[in-house]
Amino acid sequence: MSNVEPIDRVKKMDRDGNYFVPMGHYALSNSKNIHLTHNPKLSIYGLGSCIALVLFDEINKVSAMSHILLPRSNTNKEIKFPHKYANLSVKLLMEELLNHGALRGNIRAIIVGGSKIFDFDNNIMGFDNTSTVKEELDSLKIQIIKEHTGGSKGRNVFFDTKDYSLYVKSTGERDFKRIY
């Protein structure tokens, strides 16, 4: 594990001790190493065409969420925010979990997002994001145990690392619903 702290990992908790993941960033919670029984929620408010990717190992108590914007990078330049891209984020997030003691065979995935807010024909960003994340997970043999994707509404989502449950609220709905 490198000593350099990645710039795109969210370390700052909000007042309630939860992580809020901005675009192109990720958050990780490793409950095993924390003596205090603190189980943060990992959340993204206002998902449109972006994807919230949750990877977790329930047995080793490690979970992470990334906020993906685009299917894949098309630049040769140095990429400062790899979690912007589906093709990079999936791999990196898995490696982070493994670095923090997760076992490859235990890792499960949940994906949320990828909607089409503005309804014009060539707006396939959300769809592209979703399918690329799925392909990448598939190539790493990570099982997707739940997805809440597509549609035309924005979503708020949070993952509770206490019991590995996931809640979603689509725009227009009043309350969060547990989907996993």
3 binds other proteins (CB under 8 A): no
d(CA 107, CA 148): 18
Q: Which is nearer to other proteins, 116 or 146 (CB)?
A: 116
**Whole-Å CA distances, 26 to 19, 107, 164:** 9, 17, 17
For residues 153-172, one letter each, b for 16 or more C-beta atoms within 10 angstroms of the residue's C-beta and e for the rest, the string is ebbbbbbbbeebebbbbbee
Helix (H) or strand (E) holding 56: strand 51-57
| 117-176 residues near other proteins, rule: CB under 8 A | 117-120, 123, 125-126, 152-156, 171-172
Query: In angstroms, what is the minimal distance from the CB of 21 to other proteins?
Result: 9
Q: Which is nearer to other proteins, 37 or 74 (CB)?
A: 74
Identity of the residue numbered 161? T
Q: Which is nearer to other proteins, 56 or 114 (CB)?
A: 114
Binding mask 51-90 for other proteins (x = CB under 8 A): ------------------xx---xx----xx--x------
Q: Which is nearer to other proteins, 61 or 84 (CB)?
A: 84
Q: Is the dihedral of CA 82, 85, 90, 91 positive or negative?
A: negative
Point out which residues bind other proteins (CB under 8 A): 22-25, 45-50, 69-70, 74-75, 80-81, 84, 115, 117-120, 123, 125-126, 152-156, 171-172
